[in-house]
Amino acid sequence: MKKTIVILTFIFIVFGLSGQQDSLYVLVIHGGAGNITPERITKDVKPAYVAKLTESLQAGEEILKNGGTSLDAVEAAVRVLEDSPLFNAGRGAVFTIDGNNELDASIMCGKEINSGAVASITNVKNPISAARKVMEESPHVLLIGKGAERFSYEKGLEIVDPSYFFDQERWDNYRELLKRQRKGGDTGMNDPSPDDMMGTVGAVALDIHGNLAAATSTGGMSGKQFGRVGDSPIIGAGTYANNKSCAVSATGHGEYFIRNVVAYDISARMKYKGTSLDEAANYIINDKLKGLNVNGGLISVDKEGNITMPFNTSGMHRGFVNSEGQLEVKIFGDE
């Protein structure tokens, strides 16, 4: 009798712990790091950002809490941000030196180490969905320009007139950038001011099945020269996910994030050095990149559900939600 009780107790504990583990989910999002100050994000403006970030988290959480995949969750969360002119992605994309909107995005599955990306597209309503189509319905990782647009059309994604992405405030900022360049003799190919480097969006998630995923979407750098592509659609630079380590989405000066393979470096430090997620991410953002005078930030979640959201700028739109009922949205240090 005692033996039976011990066995039943053991089974209860094992399955109880398993049930707790299986119910764990986490979603983390960002809306870009940059010159985000209380002077720019005033009390009148801040509620709009908080509301949209919250909507993004809720869209992803609705999927996760019902047993959906991390891939579905990050795509849904990013689509909400792409549809908002508050961020430099999708409808709020900045303008190139020629006055166009060119969009980049990528997505990665940590379970299969599979990924997809698009760059320099101009008429796909939700670039993140195009990136996922590349991952799941093509033998490739990255499609660009007209080829990516044709592929998206053939796969049934929503195609819009390029004017859909126009935003008056972004246009006004672009015109001011041109004036500064003309005044200083700049051709538009030098580093932009911090004002022109904010708004890239991204999401990372861990689902109840233990799978990680990451997604990033951007309009790139304001006034960027023809043909320029940043880190957001580059796997390992702006986006990375691996079930054995973590999922990462980055935001910042893309050229440096590419050169330093930032997203993959977080995973590599965890895998090869045994570094914790928070330690690895903070070293990259607040030591390595800051030492190079590079601005930016990232969000990440590891296979255990731990999260980190470091940035070395004045602010970063960010937030998280998890299976414990926590939902937080922040813009500056602790608020």
Phi, psi (deg, nearest 5) at residue 308: -150, 150
What burial class does residue 43 get, using C-beta atoms within 10 Å of its C-beta: 0-12 exposed, 13-18 middle, 19+ buried?
Answer: exposed
Helices 127-137, 70-82: axis angle to 10 degrees equals 150
Q: Which of 200, 216, 308, 313 is catalytic?
A: 200
SS3 state at 29: strand
Q: Give the whole-angstrom CA distance, residue 68 versus residue 250.
A: 24
Using alpha carbons only, give the angle 210, 216, 217 rounded to the nearest 5 degrees: 150
Asked about 200 being catalytic, the answer comes back as yes
Residue appearing with tokens 């049930």:
19
Question: Tokens standing for 107?
Answer: 């997505």
Q: Give the whole-angstrom CA distance, residue 54 versus residue 137.
A: 31
Compute CA 285 distance to the chain's CA centroid, rounded to the nearest angstrom: 15
Nearest Cα to Cα of residue 39 among 332, 334, 252: 332
Using alpha carbons only, give the angle 298, 300, 303 rounded to the nearest 5 degrees: 165
| Residues recognised as catalytic | 200
